[in-house]
Chains A and B, each alone.
Chain A
Amino acid sequence: MSVTEDDVRRIARLARIAEPTDRVAKLTGELNGILDWVEMLNEVDVDGVEPMTTPVSTPLPMREDKVTDGEIPEKVLKNAPKAEEGFFVVPKSVE
C-alpha cells in the first residue's frame, strides 16, 4: 500500500492540520518510506493472536460516581487564549 499526494492532503485535513502546501511531495515520500518499512510486519504469523493494547492486564479500577473537584472556573480558564465572563471564547461555528 502506498499513499499519493492527494492522500496526504486528505490525511492532513482529517488531522486538522492546514495543508502543508510546500511539503506535500516530500511528506508523501517520507510516509511511503515508513509504510514500506512497516510492511515487514506481514512476515509475522498472527493467526489467532489477540491484539494487545496495554501491558497492564488488571481490570480498570472503578471509582464512586461522585464529583471530586469543580468550582474552579478561574483555574480552568487561566491558560485560555480567549475567555470572557467565565467562558471560553471560540470562533463562530454555527450560522
Chain B
Amino acid sequence: MSDVFSMSLLEARDALSRGDVSSAELTAAHVKAAEAAQGALNCFTVIDPEHALGMAKASDARRAKGEAGALEGVPLVIKDLFATQGVDTTASSNILKGFKPEYESSVTQNLWDAGAVMVAKSSMDEFAMGSSNETAATGPVVNPWRAKGSDEKLVPGGSSGGSVSALAADIGYGATGTDTGGSIRQPAAFTGLVGVKPTYGRCSRWGVVAFASSLDHPGAFGKTVRDSALLTQTMAGHDPKDSTSYPGAVPDMLGACDKPVKGLRIGVPKEYRVDGMPGEIDALWEKGVEWLKSQGCEIVDISLPMTKYALPAYYIIAPAEASSNLARYDGMRYGLRVEGEDLIDTYEKTRAAGFGKEVQRRILIGTYVLSAGYYDAYYVKALKVRRRIYEDFQAAFEKVDAILTPTTPSAAFGIGSKSKADPIEMYLNDIFTVTANIAGIPAMSVPAGLDAQGLPLGLQVITRALDEETMFSVAAAIEDAAGFTAKPERWW
C-alpha cells in the first residue's frame, strides 16, 4: 500500500477487508495527521486519540469475529453539531463548552453500527450560522487550498468548514455535515469535495443540535461521488425519535452511481445567471451541460421565477426557528452559567456571554419577526413565499428529471475579507443552495474544475424529493466527465 491518505473511502474499506491494514493502524495514522494539521488549519474542536483508538480496536475485534459492517474500521470526521456520547459536543459555541452528551445522535449511531470509527470532531460556524467558518468560538478554520502564488489564508466555507478542511487535507475518508441553507454544498465546492444534502427527513435530526428545524438537513462529505453515496445511505433511515423522519426505505444510492444517464432530462434554470458572477462559473456550468449532453441527456431550459426570493425568505424563517430553538440555552440544565442578581439577570448574562455576535444577531432578528405586530408581516409572509418556491420546483420537475446549476457564485475568499462587511454580503454566498432547503429536496455539489487562481469550483445537481438515486446517477456522470483530481498543495 503506497499512501494510506490518498485512498478513497471505498479503497480504504477494501484494504481493510483484505487485511492489508488494520483499523487501529489506519486510525492511529489519521489521528496523528489530525494533530499535525490542527495548528495550521484549526479544523477540529476535539481530537481524542484514546477514544478513536478504542473504537478502532473494537472494530478490528469485530472483523476478527467475522462481523464486518459496511464501513467497518473506516475513520471518519464528525461535525461538532452531532451529539456523541461521552465526547464534547459544543456546536463551536462557548455556551456549550464542556458539554458531554449522555446520548448519541441517530446519524452517528448508524455510522458506528456500520463499523465506522471517529477520528475527531470538526469545527463549524457557531450553531451552524455562517458561510465562511469564521464564527466558531475557537476561531476561523483555514482552507487547505490557496490561490496560485499566494499564501493568503482562505475560508473553507461554512458552516461545515472543519469537516471539509480535514477531508481536503486527507484526514478521514469521509465526514458528516449539516445543511440549513447550503452548509454542506458551499464548503464542498470551496474545497474540491463532494457534498450531499439528502431529502428533508432522510437523515434523522435526533441528537443534532438544532438551528432551524424545518430547514436542517444532516448529510455527508466524500472525496468521490461513490464514497459520499455509501456514507449517505448508511447515515439515512427512519428514526421513530424524529417525528419528521421519512418512514420509507433507503434507496441504493451507491448502486445508482453506476446507472447510465442517457435519456434523462436536465433542467437549466435561467434565474441562476446572476449579475456580477465570474465568467469562469458560467463557463464551468456550460461545460457541465456539455458533459451531460454528450452522455445522452436532453437539456431543457427552465424557469424558477421565485429563486431570488429564497434567500430573504430564509433570513426570516431560519432566525425565527433559531430564536425558538436556542431558548433552551439558559444556563440551568447544561452549558455555561454566569451568575446574576436574580433568575432573569442570570439568563441574560449567560446568553450574552455564551453566544457569539452572529448568533446574537440572528436571535434578535428572529425574536423581532416573531413578535406581536410583526408576525404576519414578516414570518407568515415568508412561509407563504416558501410555498411559492416549492411550487416552482414542482412545476419544473414535471418537465425535467434533474436540475444543474453552479454551487456557489464565487470560489473561496480570504479570511476576514467578507466578515467585516455588511452581513448581507456574506448571506449572498448561499444564493444558489438555499432554495433546495426551503423546498426540502435533495441537492449535492460535485467538484468540476478550477478557476484561474487554481481554486476549486463545484456544480450542483438538484432532484425531486426522495429521488436521491437520479441525483447520484447524474453526479457520477459529471464526476466521470470532469475527471477532477486536483489536490491542494501541502503547506500545513
Interface residues of A (CB under 8 A from B): 1, 3, 7-8, 11-20, 23, 27, 30-31, 33-35, 37-38, 40-44, 46, 49-56, 58, 60-61, 63, 72, 75-76, 78-82, 88, 90-93
Asked whether any CB of chain A lies closer than 8 Å to the CB of B303, the reply is: no
The one of A1, A8, A76, A82 in contact with B364, judged by C-beta atoms closer than 8 angstroms, is: A8
From residue A9, how far is it (CB to closest CB) to chain B in Å?
Answer: 10
- Give the residues in chain B near A37, CB-CB below 8 Å: 312, 315, 424
> How far apart are the CA atoms of A20 and B345 in the complex, in Å?
14
Q: Is B243 an interface residue (CB 8 A)?
A: yes
14 contacts between A and B (CB under 8 A): A1-B374, A15-B363, A18-B348, A18-B351, A41-B382, A46-B384, A51-B383, A52-B387, A54-B200, A55-B440, A72-B102, A81-B332, A82-B337, A92-B343
Tell me whether B261 is interfacial, beta carbon within 8 Å: no
**B70 at interface, CB cutoff 8 A:** no
Contact A15 B214 (CB under 8 A): no
A interface footprint on B354-377 (CB within 8 Å = 1, 0 otherwise) = 010100110111011001001001
A82 to B333, CA, bound (A): 8
Interface of chain B, main secondary structure: helix
B342/A49 in contact, CB under 8 A: no
Q: Mark B304-320, 1 if CB is under 8 A from A, else 0.
A: 00101100110110000
What residues of chain B have their CB less than 8 Å away from a CB belonging to chain A? 98-102, 200-201, 214, 240, 243-244, 246-247, 306, 308-309, 312-313, 315-316, 323, 327, 330-337, 339-340, 342-349, 351-352, 355, 357, 360-361, 363-365, 367-368, 371, 374, 377-378, 380-388, 390, 422-424, 438-441, 465
* B residues less than 8 Å from A16 (CB atoms): 327, 330, 344, 347-348, 351
Question: Could you tell me the distance in whole angstroms from the C-beta of A46 to the nearest C-beta in chain B?
Answer: 4
> Contact: B201 with A56, CB < 8 Å?
yes
In the complex formed, the residue of A with least CB distance to B360 is: A17
Which residue in A23, A51, A63, A90 is a CB contact (below 8 Å) of B332?
A90
Asked whether, in the complex, the Cβ of A17 is within 8 Å of the Cβ of B352, the reply is yes
Taking a contact as CB atoms closer than 8 A, the residue among B214, B334, B337 that contacts A54 in the complex is: B214
Q: Which residues of A contact B346 (CB under 8 A)?
A: 91
Q: Does the CB pair B388–A49 fall under 8 Å?
A: yes
If the complex has contacts A17-B348, A44-B306, A44-B388, are A80 and B334 also in contact, measured as CB distance less than 8 A? yes
Chain A residues near B371 (CB, 8 Å)? 11, 14
A64 to B349, CA, bound (A): 41
Q: Give complex CA distance A34, B352 in Å.
A: 21
**CB <8 Å contact, B351 and A55:** no
Residues of the A chain whose Cβ atoms lie less than 8 Å from the Cβ of B347: 16
- The answer to whether B352 and A38 touch across the interface, beta carbons within 8 angstroms, is no
**A31 lies within 8 A of B365 (CB):** yes
The A contact surface, by secondary structure, is loop
If A55-B214, A90-B343, A91-B343 touch, whether A12 touches B381 (CB-CB below 8 Å) is no
| Contacts A20-B360, A44-B388, A50-B387 supplied; 13 other A-B pairs, CB < 8 Å | A17-B348, A17-B355, A30-B361, A33-B424, A34-B423, A41-B309, A55-B440, A56-B244, A80-B333, A81-B334, A90-B332, A91-B343, A92-B342
Specify which chain A residues have a CB less than 8 angstroms from the CB of B337 in the assembled complex.
Answer: 81-82
Q: Report the separation of the CA atoms of residues A49 and B385 in the bound assembly, to the nearest whole angstrom.
A: 8
Give min CB distance, B437 to chain A, whole Å: 9
* Chain A residues with CB below 8 A from B316, complex form: 38, 41
Closest to B437 in A: A55
A31 in contact with B332 given A41-B313, A55-B439, A56-B440 (CB within 8 Å)? no
Instruction: Tell me the bound Cα distance from A17 to B363 in angstroms.
Output: 9
State whether A54 touches B377 (Cβ < 8 A).
no
- A51–B333 touching, CB < 8 Å: no
A66 to chain B, nearest CB (A): 14
Verify A27–B334 contact, CB threshold 8 A.
no
A71 to B422 alpha-carbon distance, docked (Å): 50
Could you tell me the distance between the alpha carbons of A38 and B335 in the complex, rounded to whole angstroms? 34
Structural contact, B368 and A31, CB atoms closer than 8 A:
yes
CB distance from B424 to the nearest CB of A (A): 5
Q: Which residues of B contact A90 (CB under 8 A)?
A: 332, 343
On chain B, the residues within 8 Å of A20 by CB distance are 352, 360
Asked if A79 and B335 make an inter-chain contact with CB atoms under 8 angstroms apart, the answer reads yes
Known contacts being A11-B364, A11-B368, is A46 close to B334, with CB within 8 Å? no
Across the interface, which residues of A come within 8 angstroms of B357, CB to CB? 23
A20 to B363, CA, bound (A): 13
B378 near A12 (CB under 8 angstroms)? no
| Cβ–Cβ contact A49 & B384, under 8 A | yes
With CB as the reference atom, state the residue of chain A lying closest to B199.
Answer: A55
CB distance from B326 to the nearest CB of A (A): 9
Asked if A91 meets B378 with Cβ closer than 8 Å, knowing A3-B368, A51-B386, the reply is: no
- CB pair B100–A79 under 8 Å, yes or no, is yes
Q: B residues within 8 A CB of A63?
A: 240
10 closest pairs, A vs B, by CB?
A: A55-B440, A51-B383, A18-B352, A52-B387, A79-B334, A81-B337, A46-B384, A93-B343, A18-B348, A38-B312
B352→A33 contact, CB < 8 A: no
B residues within 8 A CB of A52?
383-384, 386-387, 390
Could you say which residues of chain A place their CB within 8 Å of the CB of B339?
Answer: 91
